[in-house]
């Protein structure tokens, strides 16, 4: 708006030609070539099909995990138009998810273009933050992506106000949410949350059945509303033009059968949501009750995963369940279960393209002992786990923590060494010896107290910080 007005003013003063030149410069999209860093291509940069621009194009590997990623710069937050030039010389679509800053924003069809030399441009609209944004094309079928030549990027509109419903594009979800019911998005596992920016002087949330929820407005300390349902008012009398809110739920596990679903924000009359930025990094923690933060009252947000990631300014989730093991031997084996959307999903239903973790931290082995898992079995299982995490998150840094009770630590270390020897350059063993004193930092020799969790976070955070 302000730009347009000043251009018109400029035109009035110095003539139409100046206005046209100015306008063209403002309107031109910026071109980002797929072959030029910081763009990445999980495949090869090829030049064997004529008609591309620059020096080549991205021929990504024809697998689901492969991707072409661009890093674009937005002068302001708002709605951006993406022009992605591609060629698909097959006869079938090559569908893909488009992830903006790690979260799925929209889908692309990438229809057949008739030949690998027939290049065409698909136009998409997404919301972006001010500054750097990653735009990632992630194929949804094993056919992979089309060949991708470049991305034209331009912020074409201001931020769009939203209505706060669960599918409002301005909301940012963290963790594994089941979105199959558009009225109630369901939080799987533990430590999931939704962030929003909103206008107006009050805010509330719709809940279905009884749940313990926690929230923070304008980054104030998190607080609980326990046993709430229906329309829950969280704040009134807010002053200022816009506010932020974070809402999360107590995990459904064991004897706790609350209903961790998000039914949308209740905005003041005439108010709306606005875009809120999403950090570049996302850390997924996979583990058992220690990673959930059980049995402490303020879990998940006093547990080490939350504290570690918040300290790094990263998004996070706790894909963890009390009693879980690594190996599925009469136990909840996370090497299998981490591929699910929740601890009660009936098959491996999670779509890892929903978001990509930039780091994954595994803390497993404390419970396998009680289920008779041999050291050989554990080590083999851990290698498989690391392979599976790698295929779920092709670029993530993966950290395998030795468990605090000193169980299978040698096998954990060996599994990391085996994956390193197999060529994985982003997998690390984390030696936790001496981090906590079971006598004083746990409530029962196993589960860290809040202070114990804080100690762990203090040790883990600088380690992750070296990589993300």
Which residues are near ligand GCU by CB under 6 A? Answer: 46, 49, 59, 62, 116, 144, 147
Selection from ligand GCU, Ca ion, none that 212 binds (CB < 5 to 8 A by kind) is none
* 358: contact with Ca ion by CB under 5 A: no
Question: Which 62-81 residues touch Ca ion, going by CB under 5 A?
Answer: 62
Nearer to Ca ion, 62 or 395 (CB): 62
Which stretches of 7-77 are assigned E, i.e. beta strand?
Answer: 30-33, 40-41, 43-46, 57-60, 68-74
Strand 43-46 relative to strand 57-60, pairing = antiparallel
Question: Do 102 and 356 contact (CB within 8 A), yes or no?
Answer: yes
Task: Name the maximum alpha-carbon separation found in the chain.
Answer: 84
Selection from ligand GCU, Ca ion, none that 81 binds (CB < 5 to 8 A by kind) is none
Q: Smallest gap, in angstroms, from Cβ of residue 333 to ligand GCU? A: 35
- Nearest-angstrom CA–CA distance, 156 and 390: 37
Nearer to ligand GCU, 49 or 316 (CB): 49
- Nearest-angstrom CA–CA distance, 372 and 328: 11
Selection from Ca ion, ligand GCU, none that 342 binds (CB < 5 to 8 A by kind) is none
The phi and psi torsions of 165 (rounded to 5 degrees) equal: -65, 160
In the three-class reduction of DSSP (H, G, I as helix; E, B as strand; rest coil), residue 299 is classed as coil
Nearer to Ca ion, 59 or 356 (CB): 59
Selected range binding Ca ion among 25-33, 54-62, 82-90, 445-453, rule: CB under 5 A: 54-62
Selected range binding Ca ion among 58-66, 169-177, 229-237, 411-419, rule: CB under 5 A: 58-66
* 138: contact with Ca ion by CB under 5 A: no
Total number of residues shown for the chain: 468
Selection from ligand GCU, Ca ion, none that 116 binds (CB < 5 to 8 A by kind) is ligand GCU
Selection from Ca ion, ligand GCU, none that 310 binds (CB < 5 to 8 A by kind) is none
State the residue number with the nearest CB to Ca ion. 59
Nearer to ligand GCU, 46 or 336 (CB): 46
Could you tell me what percentage of the chain is helix, strand and coil, using 3-state DSSP and rounding each to the nearest 5? 20, 35, 45
Q: Smallest gap, in angstroms, from Cβ of residue 357 to ligand GCU? A: 26
Question: Do 63 and 43 contact (CB within 8 A), yes or no?
Answer: no
Nearer to ligand GCU, 49 or 278 (CB): 49
| Counts of helices then strands in the chain (DSSP H, E) | 9, 26
Q: How far is CA 402 from CA 209, 306, 360, 368, in A?
A: 39, 19, 14, 13
Nearer to ligand GCU, 116 or 399 (CB): 116
Selection from ligand GCU, Ca ion, none that 393 binds (CB < 5 to 8 A by kind) is none
- H runs (alpha helix) in 237-342: 289-292, 304-311, 334-337
Q: Smallest gap, in angstroms, from Cβ of residue 136 to ligand GCU? A: 18
Burial 286-312 (b: 16+ CB within 10 A, else e): bbbbbbbbbebebbbbbbbbbbbbeeb
Q: Smallest gap, in angstroms, from Cβ of residue 141 to ligand GCU? A: 12
Nearer to Ca ion, 62 or 374 (CB): 62
Nearer to ligand GCU, 146 or 279 (CB): 146
Q: Smallest gap, in angstroms, from Cβ of residue 46 to ligand GCU? A: 6
* 42: contact with Ca ion by CB under 5 A: no
* 59: contact with Ca ion by CB under 5 A: yes
CA 46 to chain centre: 30
Q: Smallest gap, in angstroms, from Cβ of residue 67 to ligand GCU? A: 13
* 88: contact with Ca ion by CB under 5 A: no
Q: Smallest gap, in angstroms, from Cβ of residue 95 to ligand GCU? A: 14
Q: Smallest gap, in angstroms, from Cβ of residue 57 to Ca ion? A: 10
Nearer to Ca ion, 62 or 329 (CB): 62
Q: Smallest gap, in angstroms, from Cβ of residue 137 to Ca ion? A: 12
- What are residue 371's DSSP bridge partners? none
Who's near 241: CB < 8 A, 6+ residues apart? 199
Strand 172-174 relative to strand 242-249, pairing = unpaired
Nearer to Ca ion, 94 or 299 (CB): 94
Question: Do 172 and 105 contact (CB within 8 A), yes or no?
Answer: no
Residues at the site binding Ca ion, with contacts judged by CB under 5 A: 59, 62
């Amino acid at each position: 708006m302000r730009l347009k007005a000043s251009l018109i003013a400029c035109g009035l003063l110095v003539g139409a030609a100046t206005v046209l030149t100015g306008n063209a410069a403002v309107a031109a999209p910026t071109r980002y070539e797929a072959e030029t860093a910081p763009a990445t291509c999980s495949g090869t940069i090829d030049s064997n099909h004529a008609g591309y621009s620059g020096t080549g194009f991205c021929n990504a590997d024809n697998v689901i995990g492969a991707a072409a990623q661009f890093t674009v710069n937005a002068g302001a937050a708002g709605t951006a138009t993406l022009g992605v030039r591609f060629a698909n010389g097959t006869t079938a679509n090559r569908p893909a998810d488009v992830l903006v800053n790690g979260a799925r924003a929209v889908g692309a069809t990438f229809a057949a273009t008739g030949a690998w030399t027939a290049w065409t441009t698909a136009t998409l609209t997404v919301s972006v933050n001010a500054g750097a944004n990653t735009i990632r094309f992630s194929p949804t079928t094993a056919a992979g992506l089309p060949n991708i030549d470049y991305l034209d990027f331009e912020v074409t509109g201001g931020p769009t106000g939203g209505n706060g419903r669960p599918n409002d594009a301005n909301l940012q979800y963290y963790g594994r949410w089941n979105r199959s019911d558009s009225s109630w998005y369901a939080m799987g596992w533990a430590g999931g949350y939704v962030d929003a920016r909103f206008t107006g002087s009050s805010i509330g949330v719709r809940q279905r059945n009884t749940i313990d929820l926690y929230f923070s407005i304008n980054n104030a300390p998190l607080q609980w509303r326990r046993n709430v349902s229906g329309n829950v008012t969280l704040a009134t009398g807010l002053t200022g033009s816009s506010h932020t809110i974070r809402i999360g739920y107590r995990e459904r596990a064991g004897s706790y059968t609350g209903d961790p679903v998000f039914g949308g924000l209740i905005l003041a009359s005439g108010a709306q949501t606005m875009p809120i930025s999403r950090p570049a990094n996302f850390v997924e923690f996979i583990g058992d009750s220690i990673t959930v933060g059980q049995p402490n009252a303020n879990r998940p947000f006093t547990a080490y995963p939350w504290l570690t990631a918040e300290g790094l300014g990263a998004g996070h989730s706790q894909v963890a369940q009390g009693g879980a093991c690594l190996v599925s031997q009469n136990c909840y084996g996370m090497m299998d279960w981490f591929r699910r959307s929740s601890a009660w999903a009936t098959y491996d239903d999670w779509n890892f393209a929903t978001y990509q973790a930039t780091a994954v931290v595994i803390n497993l082995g404390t419970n396998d002992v009680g289920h008779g898992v041999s050291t050989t079995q554990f080590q083999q299982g851990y290698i498989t786990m690391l392979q599976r995490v790698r295929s779920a998150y092709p670029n993530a840094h993966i950290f395998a923590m030795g468990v605090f009770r000193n169980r299978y630590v040698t096998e954990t270390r060996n599994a990391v060494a085996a994956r390193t020897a197999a060529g994985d350059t982003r997998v690390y063993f984390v030696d936790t010896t001496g981090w906590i004193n079971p006598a004083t930092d746990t409530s029962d020799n196993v589960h860290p107290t809040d202070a114990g969790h804080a100690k762990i976070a203090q040790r883990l955070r600088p380690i992750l910080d070296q990589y993300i």
